[in-house]
Amino acid sequence: MGKKAKRAPGSTSSSSTSGSASASAAASGRGAASASAARSTPGAPGAVARLRRPSLREDPRRWIYIVACLVFTVGYLWAYGELLHNRFGWARAVLYVLPVCSLGMAVGTFVGGRWGWLGVVVAGAAMLLWTVGIIIVLLVTASFLSGVYGAFGKAASSMALLTIAFVIQFAATLPALQLKWAMTRAGRRAFGLTPLWRQQAAAS
């Protein structure tokens, strides 16, 4: 009986040691699980901004915009090669801003991620600024022709106004729509990114 009484404290300490070890292992397992959940959950502290991109069946708009940008790029190049000839190098450089930007939007939408999204935003904004600049030039030209050359100038100014309508349709419509889509929650998800205004939307 005495020997058993002497061995009791040692067995108690070993059992408490094993119990504390198992408790620490369980706590570390829970910590690892919570850390992995934080990494995989959007909006959690330390969350990774790259998410799974929806497939073609889930959201076809990404591929629709890629095809549209490529079609516009080919259309711009064909128009500059067959219809809109210009012997000035700086004028050709100004015109070729459109196909370069539309191709950039196609590549950015295809690549995705943060850099792809930024490429789409920069290229689309450049196309819109190009459109605004061309419209200003055409308006100034139309007012000058109408005020200086009389009836002939008024006819020429009407052609300039018609050109403005074509510029808006073929140069500003696509980037405006794609930029609007890229800023939405669905657009950001198509790039594999979290929404821009997630906290504001959740608060409201």
Q: Kindly report whether the global pTM for this prediction surpasses the value 0.75.
A: no
Domain ranges of the chain: 61-191
Rounded Cα distance between 128 and 154, Å, is 28
Tens of pLDDT, residue by residue over 134-143, are 999 988 888 8
Output the six-digit token pair for 66: 């890629």
For CA atoms 94, 110, 81, 140, the dihedral sign is negative
Which pLDDT score is estimated for 56? 63
Residue spans of the chain under pLDDT 50: 1-23, 25-29, 31-48, 201-204
Tens of pLDDT, residue by residue over 140-170, are 888 887 777 777 777 777 888 888 888 999 9
Output the six-digit token pair for 194: 């979290």
Rounded Cα distance between 142 and 154, Å, is 8
In terms of DSSP H, where are the helices of 41-171? 61-82, 89-95, 97-111, 113-148, 150-167
CA angle 194, 196, 197 (to 5 degrees): 115
The DSSP output letter for 181 is H
